[in-house]
Amino acid sequence: MHQTLASTNASTVAQRRTLASLLRSPTRLGQLVLGLIWCVDGLLKLQPYFFHHFATGVIEPNAMGQPGIIGDPITWIAGVVKHDQGIFTVLAGLGEFSIGVGLFVRRTVKPALLLSFAWALNVWLTGEGLGGLFTSATPSPLVGIIGTAPMYIVAGLLVWPRTAGSGEADSNFGLLGETGARLVWAALWLGAAALWLFPSNAGAKSLGGAFTEAPSGTSWLSSLHSSAAHAVGGSGMTVTLVLAVLSAEIGLSVLWGRGTRIALLGSIPMLLAFWLLGEGLGGLFTGEATDVGTVPLVILIAVLLLPLASRDVPAATRAPVQISPAAEGQVSRA
């Protein structure tokens, strides 16, 4: 009886220590969350729709409006996949699920991240058409300024495990480092601020139209989209101007190291609204979602950047404190 109680107590203590270790290590926690997202994406690929429409519904549309150097390879890849869509669907699903599992195991984190970078670049080309950057269409900040796939790369770079000799200031920010993390975040949000001002996004009815056209797949979500579009009405330009200012503030606050915590935490409710109204929760209820959407990844990035809030200014601009010889003498005598 005593042995059973002792073993139970030891197990409870071990579990608490493991949880405490995770909470103290945002990098490891980020690896686990990113792994979960990859696993969900892999399972989404196994939906019945993709076994018959993986080429025609996911890959081929991304060749439209592209210059030949981008559109032709996408069309060729779609032609290859079209003959055995079921096989490629299973391989894609298993590949993404394997990346997620690899992130759960400490020993395989680095290989899994390297594989995720390569796969994300592939998805960015074939599944997103490089975010439509080279087409005439203007990206919407509601669904990401350059697509979803690059966010997997940014998150992966942030959770890359650092060696024991890594500098303490950059230990929580993987391969990007503190300065790189600030610059990437600022680029994402300043890019969003600029896009809000484009005519296609800032028109009086553009925002309401974006809500109406967002994927749904369920009646309650469609009703919510309609209500949001009705609430915006013809005031879309005013709302987008406010969103542009807020986006710029969120980006610049983190870049300058002033109000970083407020900017990062304040971005999360805005992002959740984007995910609900603009991305339709990633289209998870439509049966045609290939991933969870851009917003969950950007929220993960925001959480991973929270340690920046403990620093007033970026490391690159932080001047070292120097003590004069006279002051040193006074300290020694004290």
Amino acid 172: pLDDT:
80
Which candidate, 107, 74, 45, 33, places its Cα nearest to that of 296?
33
Q: What residue spans of the chain are helical by DSSP H?
A: 2-24, 26-44, 50-53, 68-82, 85-104, 109-126, 149-158, 177-196, 199-202, 206-213, 219-232, 236-256, 260-273, 295-304, 325-333
Averaged over successive runs of 10 residues, the pLDDT of the chain (334 residues) comes to 53 47 72 98 97 95 94 95 94 98 97 98 96 90 93 97 61 90 97 95 92 95 96 91 97 95 97 96 96 97 94 50 46 43
Cβ–Cβ under 8 Å, residues 293 and 37: no
Amino acid 234: pLDDT:
87
Q: What is the dihedral of CA 114, 119, 125, 130, to 10 degrees?
A: -50
Amino acid 7: pLDDT:
52
DSSP 169: G
pTM of the full structure: 0.86
Cβ–Cβ under 8 Å, residues 201 and 232: no
Amino acid 311: pLDDT:
72
DSSP 75: H
Amino acid 169: pLDDT:
52
- Residue 76 structure tokens: 């060729």
Q: What is the Cα–Cα distance from 277 to 267, expressed in whole angstroms?
A: 15
Q: What is the Cα–Cα distance from 77 to 276, expressed in whole angstroms?
A: 32
Cβ–Cβ under 8 Å, residues 99 and 149: no
Place of tokens 């210059």: 67
- Residue 220 structure tokens: 């309650």
Environment class of 126 (CB within 10 Å of its CB; exposed 0-12, middle 13-18, buried 19+): buried
Q: What is the Cα–Cα distance from 38 to 36, expressed in whole angstroms?
A: 5
Place of tokens 């984190």: 109
Amino acid 154: pLDDT:
98
Read out DSSP for 5-22? HHHHHHHHHHHHHHHHHH
Cβ–Cβ under 8 Å, residues 282 and 37: no
Sequence letter at residue 322: Q
Amino acid 204: pLDDT:
87
